[in-house]
Amino acid sequence: MRLVEVAKKLGMTGQTLRKELSEVDFGIKPTDREIPDQIAQGVIRFLARKHNIPLEEDLSMPESGAEMPVVPPVPSSPDQAVKVEGVAEQAAPDDEAAKKVHVLRKLTLEDVSDDAVRAHAARVSLPTRGRSPQRRSGPRLQRVPKKREHTVQEQIKRKEGVVELPDVITVKEFAEKTGVQVPEVISALMKNGVMASINQNIDFDTAAIVASDLNITVRKEQAEASAEKLLAGNLEALLQEDDPSLLLPRAPIVTVMGHVDHGKTAILDAIRKSDVAAGEAGGITQKIGAYEVAHEGKSLTFLDTPGHEAFTSMRARGAQITDIVVLVVAADEGIKPTTIEAIDHAKDAGVPIIVALNKIDREGADPDRIRGQLAEHGLQPEEWGGKTPVVLCSAKTGQGIQDLLEHIVLLAEMEELRANPERPAVATVIESHLDSSLGPVASIIVNAGSLHVGDVIVCGVTFGRVKSMTDAHGKRKDDVHPSGTVRISGLSEVPEVGDILQVVQDDAEAKKVLLHIQDVRERQKKRGLGDLITRLSEGKMHVLKIVLKADSVGEIEAIRSSIAKTERGKDGVAPKVVHSAVGNISESDVMMAAASDGIVLGFNVTVSVHVESIARTYGVEIRLYDVIYKLLDDVKSLLDGLIEPEEEESVMGHLTIRGIFFRKKSDQVVGGLVTDGILKRVPFRVLRENREIGTGRITSIKQVEKDVKEAKEGKEYGLRIESSVDFAEGDVLEAYTKEFRKKA
């Protein structure tokens, strides 16, 4: 008979039965799977008697002459004899027979009382299952419950839905995230030729194959963007790692640009069917606003700017969020210098343009003349065989507004705009200010992902937690999806226009990212000519973009023509004038160069101190000339990477070290007094007894517990620095900066 059948008849588990067999020697091993029927019947009778287990059916007795194994008598006292084949063996008090019963052959249950069987059961204390509540007559023994020494592990439940996995994950973490037992995961890995233990790492591709075999749907967890990518603001690079299968259609982001009084806001007012222009001073937009509009079931997001300056300001900080530009031109006035600048900005950004020919109902409107002017500036109308749609409209009467919206929807469908709504939100600041009741607030457009109230965010060089979100109509929102626009509160400081906002896990992660961003931004501040030449020579730039200013139209045309004829540089770099105009160099010119990653060339013009300061802030090189051939020679030298700017060093200040508080490899924390000048997050050299012993870089500055941007003369500060120098009290840190200046 199989051992499992014996356990079934007794209502026990196989483990319990094997434990019984280890306590009483029945002449069989607990590991045996089958035992003789006669021994099995004896085991059943003994255990049924011992545990008061009623048998479901009577056991048939063996045929005459057959040997019948019977259970041994359980000694009720140390002096009781065990009868085995007529031979009596006296059980001594300390003998093993008193502890373990031996079963050989032809044992009998004679002279074994019920009390003796129960006493043996109480002494062994084995757990049983299926015990009947009915008991035989006789005294009832009270059993003391024994605490189980083993625990039953709760079964892991498989996860439902989609499971997000990182790029690299251990086998154990994979099992926990998917709800699959580790042996099953290892088995699936082995089937795919991967030998991995429970603590070994597997990449996402391997995990996806294993998950597919286990009928589990997984997707890659979206990693947070690096500080360099956030500062670069290249949204395409930020979002390129999104899983294509998760991308869904999104609304287009439309920027309205044009001359100051050609009716940009009036056009948008007609689209929104709300009177915005009437509430503005002089009918001119005072600050950036973004609005969501529905047209025939399609959602459109409009960005109304005070001109191309804001558009360029965002681009200068790397934020290129516009999908379509609507260029508003008055049909009775034609193209103005501001319109030309807007065209140049949009063309350099590579954004498709739709021309809204406004005020078509006015006397003196001449659409054909305007089309000719557009063609002169590279915008060939569709009516003339070009690719630029020109829509005749009137914001006052509503004429052509529906046609304009249809062109926007059609162009958006052709662009196939898509985004992943499931990833951590990435958004762009389009307007910010300090509110008297809410504190720092920012208007944002979500580029990808979904933003929720309560999310921890990093935005530029500030961070916080989203406390509230309101749309353009003042309605509160709990979440916003790609291409949605809201005004948020909860930031610690007012961010700058064009800053990239990203959702992070928690406050600790936000502070970590913020420190990295501050360090990277400090290093990127001083780009200048040296950095430009390096990128040209390393092949990182293929076009040298130029903003050209001169004191007459004739000079501009002559210089543009000469630059266009200039041959490519030795590394294939070509020159391109992205914008040219008459007049002195302005802030707008600098912002244009910053956005284009180019330089400003001026011929017989001047530049103010204020504009020079802005140029230094954005790392834009300004060069002034009064001889044309000198200008052209420098352009050619730049293309060949032959201009070698002079490096000029400037000492900022000194700090005397008064204490060393922390050191781990090259990361150290010191404290000291600023003896002269100021110190910022810049490089430094270490002076000991007026002799240089090493260098390093300041990464953060603290005064007491507060982070500060600079350390001022006469005060004590704590500095976190990157340096391998073994500092001592009395050492002097000399902070300095290096700038590239053109040779005289």
Contact 83, 101 (CB under 8 A): no
355 — pLDDT class (breaks 50, 70, 90): very high
Contact 353, 339 (CB under 8 A): no
Q: What span, in angstroms and rounded, lies between the C-alpha atoms of 12 and 129? A: 5
Closest by alpha carbon to 203, among 177, 168, 178? 168
Per-residue tokens: 225: 């963007």
Per-residue tokens: 368: 């054909």
Block residue for tokens 């929720």: 452
Q: Which amino acid is at 163?
A: V
674 pairs with which residues across the strands?
655
78 — pLDDT class (breaks 50, 70, 90): very low
Lowest average pLDDT, out of 152-156, 195-199, 447-451, 618-622, goes to 152-156
Q: What span, in angstroms and rounded, lies between the C-alpha atoms of 133 and 57? A: 18
655 — pLDDT class (breaks 50, 70, 90): very high
pLDDT, residue 92, reads 40
149 — pLDDT class (breaks 50, 70, 90): very low
Per-residue tokens: 547: 């903003």
90 — pLDDT class (breaks 50, 70, 90): very low
DSSP helix/strand/coil, 114? helix
Q: What span, in angstroms and rounded, lies between the C-alpha atoms of 556 and 180? A: 71
pLDDT at 744 over 60: no
pLDDT, residue 54, reads 76
Give the pLDDT mean for 428-455: 88
312 — pLDDT class (breaks 50, 70, 90): low
Closest by alpha carbon to 239, among 431, 424, 413, 414? 424
pLDDT at 436 over 70: yes
Closest by alpha carbon to 417, among 278, 301, 496, 571? 301
Q: Pairing relation of β-strands 418-419 and 390-392?
A: unpaired
Q: Tell me how many degrees the CA angle 614-617-619 measures, rounded to the nearest 5.
A: 105
The H or E element containing residue 549 is strand 543-550
pLDDT, residue 313, reads 62
Contact 547, 600 (CB under 8 A): yes
Q: Tell me how many degrees the CA angle 353-354-360 measures, rounded to the nearest 5.
A: 145
Q: What span, in angstroms and rounded, lies between the C-alpha atoms of 556 and 582? A: 8
pLDDT, residue 284, reads 41
Q: What span, in angstroms and rounded, lies between the C-alpha atoms of 626 and 1? A: 112
Contact 500, 483 (CB under 8 A): no
Give the pLDDT mean for 297-321: 66
pLDDT at 197 over 60: yes
pLDDT at 176 over 50: yes
Residue 708 CB partners (closer than 8 Å, separation 6+):
701, 702, 717
* pLDDT tens per residue, range 114-127: 665 565 555 544 44
Q: Where are the alpha helices (DSSP H) in 169-234?
A: 171-178, 182-191, 204-213, 227-232
Block residue for tokens 């070698």: 644
686 — pLDDT class (breaks 50, 70, 90): very high
540 — pLDDT class (breaks 50, 70, 90): low
Q: What span, in angstroms and rounded, lies between the C-alpha atoms of 363 and 369? A: 14
Q: What span, in angstroms and rounded, lies between the C-alpha atoms of 19 and 654? A: 81
Q: What span, in angstroms and rounded, lies between the C-alpha atoms of 378 and 380? A: 6
Contact 577, 598 (CB under 8 A): no
Lowest average pLDDT, out of 124-128, 307-311, 608-612, goes to 124-128
Contact 7, 129 (CB under 8 A): no
The H or E element containing residue 578 is strand 574-582
Per-residue tokens: 619: 């790392």
* Residue 1: how many other CB atoms lie within 10 Å: 16
52 — pLDDT class (breaks 50, 70, 90): confident
Closest by alpha carbon to 300, among 395, 404, 451? 404
Measure CA 653 to chain center: 39
Residue 131 CB partners (closer than 8 Å, separation 6+):
11, 51, 52, 53
pLDDT at 717 over 90: yes
DSSP string, 370-425: HHHHHHHTT--BGGGTSSB-EEE--TTT-TTHHHHHHHHHHHHHHHT-EE-TTSBP
Q: How far apart are the first and last CA of the chain?
A: 107
Give the pLDDT mean for 153-175: 74
Return the higher-pLDDT residue of 333 and 72: 333
Give the pLDDT mean for 274-283: 44
pLDDT, residue 304, reads 66
* Percent with pLDDT over 70 in the chain: 72
DSSP helix/strand/coil, 304? strand
Q: For residue 337, report the phi and psi dihedrals to the nearest 5 degrees.
A: -55, -40
674 — pLDDT class (breaks 50, 70, 90): very high
pLDDT, residue 616, reads 79
548 — pLDDT class (breaks 50, 70, 90): very high
pLDDT at 509 over 50: yes
pLDDT at 564 over 80: yes
pLDDT at 673 over 90: yes
Q: Which of 52-56, 118-122, 520-524, 651-655 has the highest mean pLDDT?
A: 651-655
Q: What span, in angstroms and rounded, lies between the C-alpha atoms of 100 and 77? A: 13
Q: What span, in angstroms and rounded, lies between the C-alpha atoms of 423 and 643? A: 45
262 — pLDDT class (breaks 50, 70, 90): confident
pLDDT at 527 over 80: no
The mean pLDDT of the chain is 76
Block residue for tokens 């194994």: 69
* pLDDT tens per residue, range 207-216: 888 888 888 8
524 — pLDDT class (breaks 50, 70, 90): low
pLDDT, residue 460, reads 80
DSSP state at residue 63: P
Block residue for tokens 């000991």: 688
